[in-house]
């Protein structure tokens, strides 16, 4: 990472001048940020992320953070001597596992993020889907990939029924930065563990966000030669999925991105969270630090 003291005053002025049109364009707009991967576990990148979120707020944008926590949940289960089970890549979440998921996500992980943002000069507030009745969910129906007549029981894994963003909007209006844990509640008050990419995408759609930024552990969407594709439309993504260029773990992430773009989010950015300040560079400069998916 470049040492800020080595940047000349002229270079600093150029950087600020380049950012100004973007600051003006996005002033007052909502930015939903999915926070996960290396950016969430490396201490230096954690600090960079918190500073970026606070800066976006200070220049007049409205960041909303949705976080994951898979590695932290896995570590907590191991400490309890509990072995995780997966079906088609989805964690089977029994009642005991759900308890661990709640205290890791809504306790440990969420409060770490709130603390980092507050330390960087922001005013963060932690929420789960229960707060303000924000995320209503039902049990996810998981059909077998090979035989659609077979349904797998993955426990308390949730599918979003509806999102009520009133509590997020109220916090934004009061200059707070909402930090959302991806936990929903059912009609019998049961808790559900929901994929954080899905929560971020649906929340961005409901809030009619200007941008959805997804911090990942890869540079963005790559072509068959391994080169970064800097800009895509939902139709182009469909073609890349059909010819096998996009597959594996990128599929569910992009499914949410496509849904958000089709629902009115102007741009979705899949950004490399391993690059210091990559989110800020993607939003406030001409340089592409990831893949931007535009609504058609």
The verdict on whether residue 266 carries a ligand-binding annotation is no
The verdict on whether residue 195 carries a ligand-binding annotation is no
The verdict on whether residue 115 carries a ligand-binding annotation is no
* DSSP result, the chain: ---GGGS-HHHHHHHHHHHHHHHHHHTT-EEEEEE-THHHH-HHHHHHHHHHHHHHHHTT-EEEEEE--HHHHHHHHHHTTPPP-EETTEE-B-HHHHHHHHIIIIIIIHHHHHHHHHHTT--EEEEETTGGG-EEEEE--EE-SS-TT-EE--BSBEEEEEE-THHHHHHHHTT-EEEEE-EEE-TTS-EEE--HHHHHHHHHHHTT-SEEEEEESSSS-B-TTS-B--EE-HHHHHHHHHTTSS-TTHHHHHHHHHHHHHTT-SEEEEEETTSTTHHHHHHHSSS-SEEEEE--
The verdict on whether residue 202 carries a ligand-binding annotation is no
In the annotated binding site for substrate, the residues are 69-70, 91, 193
In the annotated binding site, the residues are 69-70, 91, 193
């Amino acid at each position: 990472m470049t040492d800020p003291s080595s940047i000349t005053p002229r270079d600093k002025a150029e950087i600020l001048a380049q950012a100004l049109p973007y600051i003006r364009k996005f002033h007052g707009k909502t930015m939903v940020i999915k926070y996960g991967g290396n950016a969430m576990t490396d201490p230096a990148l954690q600090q960079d992320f918190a500073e970026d979120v606070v800066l976006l707020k200070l220049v007049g944008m409205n960041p909303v953070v949705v976080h994951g926590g898979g590695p932290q949940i896995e570590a907590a289960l191991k400490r309890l001597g509990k072995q995780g089970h997966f079906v088609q890549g989805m964690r089977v979440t029994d009642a005991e596992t759900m308890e661990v998921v709640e205290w890791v996500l809504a306790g440990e992980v969420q409060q770490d993020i709130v603390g980092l943002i507050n330390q960087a000069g922001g005013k963060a507030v932690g929420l789960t889907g229960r707060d303000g009745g924000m995320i209503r969910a039902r049990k996810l129906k998981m059909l077998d990939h090979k035989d659609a007549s077979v349904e797998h029981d993955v426990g308390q894994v949730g599918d979003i029924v509806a999102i009520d963003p009133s509590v997020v909007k109220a916090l934004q209006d009061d200059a707070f930065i909402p930090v959302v844990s991806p936990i929903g509640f059912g009609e019998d008050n049961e808790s559900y563990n929901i994929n954080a990419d899905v929560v971020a995408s649906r929340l961005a759609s409901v809030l009619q966000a200007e941008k959805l930024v997804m911090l990942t552990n890869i540079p963005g969407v790559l072509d068959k030669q391994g080169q970064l594709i800097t800009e895509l439309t939902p139709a182009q993504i469909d073609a890349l999925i059909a010819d096998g260029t996009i597959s594996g773990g990128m599929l569910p992430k992009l499914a949410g991105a496509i849904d958000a773009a089709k629902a009115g989010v102007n741009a979705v950015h899949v950004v490399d969270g391993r690059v210091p300040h990559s989110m800020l560079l993607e939003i406030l400069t001409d340089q592409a630090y990831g893949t931007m998916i535009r609504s058609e």
